[in-house]
A = this chain, B = another copy of it.
């Protein structure tokens, strides 16, 4: 007996019902190279008022079957894998609105600025795909991509007034919401944020590289507001047909609290 199909005591449409905090191994083939991730996955669908519950195990089967049976060949990006899971789910469970999120990290190779040594930079990313207006036909797919990048701020007020200043780690977050087919690459988004700090940062820095970063920070003082505006500016130049959100959090070295600035735009 499928209790889920019963009429519920309280009849209310629910926007989302599903799974969260599921972690599993996924593989994609991006530009001819295989990448593996163990993302934290959230997948939800809507639930109409006359049914008591959704069939949770079908959501998990959609993830496992899409991930396992096709061994990474068919998915050229995390967002494509997510779209495949939502498509696969359509054969198992009716829904009008489906949504899937993966939170993971991207490791990007870089060269250090002076000694040109190899270094690896790791960034948190969050990728969501949603399927809407989904009545009988296949509906419309959209996506949200988010990157969270570490950098720094250098206080312009202090440097202007006293020649010296305070410096601190800052976190820049860029979110792009757009149609599924609009090509937006996470690495380009990361670049937009990196280029907006007083200086980009590196995992490895030999003494000459550190000198370069320190110089760059002092030449380039920025409030948290400046960093947010630069992220918006870079994203507007780089991407099209999308909604953009930017947010910067600066972990002040002269305070116990953080400062924050947020903005948005449309191109």
Interface residues of chain A, those whose CB is within 8 Å of chain B, are 1-4, 8-25, 36, 38, 42, 44, 47, 52-54, 56-57, 60-61, 64, 67-68, 105, 107, 117-122, 150, 152, 156-158, 160-162, 164-169, 199, 201-207, 210-211, 213-215, 217-218, 223-226, 228-230, 232-233, 249, 251-265
Distance (whole angstroms) from the CB of A14 to the closest CB of chain B? 4
Q: Bound state CA distance, A69 and B82, in angstroms? A: 33
- Secondary structure at chain A's binding surface: helix, strand, loop or mixed? mixed
Which one of B160, B166, B232, B259 contacts A217 once the chains associate, using CB atoms below 8 Å? B166
5 contacts between A and B (CB under 8 A): A3-B160, A11-B229, A60-B203, A158-B210, A214-B254
Residues in B whose Cβ lies below 8 Å from that of A257: 19-23, 203
Known interface pairs A256-B150, A260-B18. Does A24 touch B167 (Cβ–Cβ under 8 Å)?
no
Residues in B whose Cβ lies below 8 Å from that of A150: 256
**B265 x A12 contact (CB < 8 A):** yes
Which one of B8, B157, B215, B256 contacts A201 once the chains associate, using CB atoms below 8 Å? B256
